[in-house]
Structure formats: structure tokens, C-alpha cells
Amino acid sequence: MSSNPDKNQQLFWGCFIALVTTSFAFITRAFLVNDPSLWPADLGLDKVKAQELFGAGIWPFAISIILFSLVIDRVGYRAAMIFSFVCYGLYAVLALQAHAVLHPAGGPLEGEALAAARASAWNMLYMGSIILGLGNGTVEAFINPVVATLFNREKTKWLNILHAGWPAGLVVGGLISIFLGAKVAADWRILVYLIAIPAIVYMLMLLRAKFPVNERVAAGATYREMLAEFGALGAAIAGFLVFKQLGMVFGWPQPVTWTLLIVSVAAYGLYCRSLGRPILLLLCLIMMPLATTELGTDGAISGIMEEPLHAIGANPLWVLIYTSSIMMCLRFVAGPIVHKLTPLGLLAVCATLACAGLFLLSKAHGLAFIFFAATIYGVGKTFFWPTMLGVVAEQTPKGGALTLNAIAGIGMLTVGILGGPLIGEMQERSIESAIETKTPGVYQGVSKSDSYFFGTYRALDPQKLATLPETQSQEISTIAKTARQGSLAKVIVFPAFMLVCYLGLIVWFRSRGGYKAVNLSANH
């Protein structure tokens, strides 16, 4: 920690509010894509397409966080901070324009005019979401290395406290979304305006702040050494996800995607002359299911829990707010917990609890049971993200901003292009199975085919469903809502894989004398 505690605290809390802004962006967009009366109604979205639009605000995170991590020591943290603020402004402009297209002053649209408006608004919201994702990624590109440098003797503890800003934003943003429910239903632009509040606050707090020199730079580790920590294999993991998604967005043929990947990875490998640290590569792979377990589920859970909570008169967003409250409180007291269990021990415990919590949520009915299950799941996911960042910062300090942020980028990229749509497809498969079981032969007539990253899928078609007699249509809708909840049991595969990996790492570290943070200053 540097010699001026007051300045450090001001800088820390500015970073904290910046993370709250990204959380506001997440929760408001989750509300917009999961509430059937908002973007799904305006744009005519099924569950997979809704998650694809939601993911468009997540996968660009990886591009900005990785690109800025490569140059942030040169361009400076302040430039990254200003860029993120500009991105939030551009998102607001495009979202407001999309609303104007969908809700013209002349009255409701119908037929071809409605279809054209939906296509235009989709493009605006998709592009706006991409820009928003770039801004969110840039925020984390500067806050993580800043805090890891300010508190370089207690990285895991302070990264957990920093990342209490994420659930804090979910709680505040979720509560506002609920209490303004009627007004939001009438005009969803309110949720766009909300992001401006914390964005302006962190801009004012950090605009004149004095940012620290990164730990890697201060210790004399070279730029090449930073790249070598991530290595060619790490670049291949991140590069594949980035170029695959960009190919899907811009319509590149597969040969172009593979050519860009091979050329970029080869150039990276030739320059850094390293395949990457094995432990970092394993942590990159673990981060994929970790991000899907936490953020992918968070993005879909209000829609998944709609039926059991509406049945008892509760808003499904309360589950996300409640679990986020648990995360916020526990992350503020992470220090003693990390000290007692070690970072890897804590991650193993969290993976176990996440498995149990997701299974119980898939079966939960009744207010008490739902929130009992949500408590277990909430505690389980609490320390995943910041503790993984802490492990990376402690084990690969030569990687500086790159290794710390690249793993976060891989996680967010996975949620955006793989995890979120995969959870949506899991929901649709559960719906198909339930409808076929309870009303054989009906599903084919009320579904449609579409495609996503992993191939083709079938989804319930609201327009075809509306052509059925009202009683039958309501029956199928009820079956579908119940089946979505059951799909949470399938999500358990992600934390189960993580648990196996964490146990393996614990055994490996014990064979080497136990888990210890690498002290970069002692080696330079």
C-alpha cells in the first residue's frame, strides 16, 4: 500500500463506484430482456434471442479489457476511465433512439411497419449493447490493477471488497427497477437513465485522481515478461473466443476466423517466446464455467424463477436482489474468511454450495424454500469472481494488468457468446421435454427452429402459441414457465467441474508446501 492512505481510499472508492456503474448496466439490461412486457414484447424475442441480445452487452467486455490491458501502462488509467464514460453515453443515445423507433408519436405499429421497426431497433440495441460492453470492460481494465497495486500485500482481500460494488449495484438497481415497475412498463427508457447516476459520480471522483504505477512496472518486470505469463496458449483461448464472436457479428466465413486466430497467436508467441504459465492456463479454463455459473445464471434467473414466485405474489427479481445482498455483505468481510480457508479452499467450498443451491432452486416452491435455496446459492457464488482474480494476481504478478484482466475478459466473453445462450438453450430443451411429456405431439406445432454458437435449437414460438385455443395456450405457457425453473439443475455441471479443478489445485499446492502468494518485489 502506498504512503498516502487518504488518497488511496478516495481512489479505491472511485473504482468501487465505477464497478457499481457496470452492475447497474447489467441489472437494468437483465430486467429489460427477461421481463416479457419490455424488450421481448417490443422486439418479439424468444428466450435464446433475448439472451443473445443480453450477451451482446457482455462479450465486448473481453475485447476492451484485454486490449486496454496490453497498453494501459502506456496510455494511463485516466484515459481508460474517460473512454468508459463515453461508452455509457453512446449506449444511452442508441437505446433512446431504439425506443423512439418502436414507439413513434403517431401510435402503435402493425404488420410490415412493426417488423421493420423491430429490425431497426434490434440493430440499435445490439450495437448499443456492444458499446456498453466495451465501456464495462474498460472499467475493469483499470480498477483491478489499480486496487491490486494499492493493496499489493492483501490482494485477494481488497479485490473482494472492490467487487462488493458489483452486487451493491445489483441490489440498488434491482430495487429501483421493482419499485418503478409500473413506470418502467410504460416507458423502459427510465432504466437507461439510471446508468447515468453512478457514471457521473465516478467520473467526477477519478478525473483528477493520481493513479499509481502498476506493481509490474515498479518492480522492473518487462513488457515481454508480462506477455510471457499469458503466453501463446492463453492468447489462443482468448483469441478463439474473440474472433469467433466477431465472425458471428460481421458474418466472416470460418477460414477468415481461423486465419486471424492463427496469425495473431503466432505473432504473439514469436514475440513473447512462451506458451504461458500452466497454472494460469488452467485458471483461464476454470473461469469459463465460473462466469457462466455466476453471471449467466444471474442474467436469466429472474425469468427462470418467474412462475414459482408469481404464484406466491412475489417479483422474480427478488431472488437476484437477495443473493446479491448476501454477496455484498460477505465480500466486505472477505479478509478473515480468505485467511482461514486460503483462496483455493474458499473457491472449493463455494463451488460445492453453488451445486447444492442450484439444485434446490430447480425444485423450490413456497417463499421459505425458495429463499432457503437462494441463500445457499448466494453464499456459493459470493467469492467466485474476486477470489479468482486474487489467485491470478498472487500467482502471476509478472503478468501485471494483462493476466489479471485477461482472465476476467475470458470469463465475460464466455458468458456473452457461450454461457448465456447455452443457459437459454437449456431452458428451451427443458420446455420441449415438459410439453412433450404432458401434451404429446403439440410441441412441434408451437415451436420454431433457430441457430446460435453451438448449432441449431428449437424454441417455443409465442406467435404460434397464440393461435391455439385460449385454454390450451395457457396450459402450455404454464408448463413452459415451470420447466424453465427445472433447467437450473442442468447448470450444476459448471460448478461441479470447477470443484474438481479446485480440489486438484489444492492437492498440487500442498505437495509444494502449501499455497503462497508470489512476491514480485523479492525477485526483482
The total of other beta-carbon atoms located within 10 Å of residue 311's CB is 14
Average pLDDT for the chain: 87
Instruction: State what percent of residues in the chain have pLDDT above 70.
Output: 94
Residues with Cβ within 8 Å of residue 132, at least 6 apart in sequence: 25, 29, 57, 60, 87, 88, 91
Residues with Cβ within 8 Å of residue 123, at least 6 apart in sequence: none
Q: Is the dihedral of CA 6, 9, 15, 18 positive or negative?
A: negative
pLDDT of residue 306: 63
Contact, 238 vs 61, CB < 8 A? no
Residue 261: pLDDT band by 50, 70, 90 thresholds? very high
Helix (H) or strand (E) holding 460: strand 455-460
pLDDT of residue 384: 93
Mean pLDDT of 8-23: 92
Q: Is the dihedral of CA 26, 28, 32, 34 positive or negative?
A: positive
Stated pTM of the model: 0.80
The pLDDT tens digits of the residues spanning 287-320 come to: 999 988 887 776 666 566 666 666 666 666 677 7
- For residues 390 and 279, give the distance between their C-alpha atoms in angstroms, rounded to a whole number: 14
Short-list 175, 51, 54, 4, CA closest to 427 = 51
The full set of domain ranges for the chain reads: 5-522
Mark residue 376 as left, alpha or beta (left: phi above 0; alpha: psi -120 to 50; beta: remaining). Answer: alpha
Q: Is 453 exposed, middle or buried (0-12, 13-18, 19+ CB in 10 A)?
A: middle
Mean pLDDT of 348-356: 95
The pLDDT tens digits of the residues spanning 460-513 come to: 887 888 888 888 888 888 888 778 788 888 889 999 999 999 999 999 999 999
Mark residue 456 as left, alpha or beta (left: phi above 0; alpha: psi -120 to 50; beta: remaining). Answer: beta
Q: Is 408 exposed, middle or buried (0-12, 13-18, 19+ CB in 10 A)?
A: buried
Contact, 515 vs 342, CB < 8 A? yes
Q: Which CATH class is domain 5-522?
A: mainly alpha
The pLDDT tens digits of the residues spanning 160-189 come to: 999 999 989 988 988 887 788 788 888 999
Mean pLDDT of 369-389: 90
User: Which ranges constitute the DSSP H helices of 56-153?
Assistant: 60-75, 77-102, 111-150
- For residues 418 and 234, give the distance between their C-alpha atoms in angstroms, rounded to a whole number: 18
**Residue 381, phi then psi, degrees to nearest 5:** -85, -5
Short-list 238, 218, 205, CA closest to 69 = 238
Residues with Cβ within 8 Å of residue 270, at least 6 apart in sequence: none
Is pLDDT at 457 greater than 90 in this prediction?
Answer: no
The pLDDT tens digits of the residues spanning 411-439 come to: 877 887 777 788 888 888 888 888 888 88
- For residues 293 and 511, give the distance between their C-alpha atoms in angstroms, rounded to a whole number: 29
pLDDT of residue 214: 79
Q: Is 103 exposed, middle or buried (0-12, 13-18, 19+ CB in 10 A)?
A: middle
pLDDT of residue 1: 45
Contact, 128 vs 101, CB < 8 A? no
- For residues 46 and 154, give the distance between their C-alpha atoms in angstroms, rounded to a whole number: 45
- For residues 210 and 228, give the distance between their C-alpha atoms in angstroms, rounded to a whole number: 29
- For residues 117 and 125, give the distance between their C-alpha atoms in angstroms, rounded to a whole number: 12
Is pLDDT at 522 greater than 60 in this prediction?
Answer: no
pLDDT of residue 499: 97
DSSP 325-347: HHHHHHHHTHHHHHHHH-HHHHH
Short-list 506, 56, 409, CA closest to 248 = 56
Structure-block grid coordinates of residue 195? 446508468
Task: State the distance between the two ends of the chain, measured CA to CA, in whole angstroms.
Answer: 18
User: Any bridge partners for residue 449, and if so which?
Assistant: 458
Is pLDDT at 253 greater than 70 in this prediction?
Answer: yes
Short-list 316, 32, 302, CA closest to 193 = 32
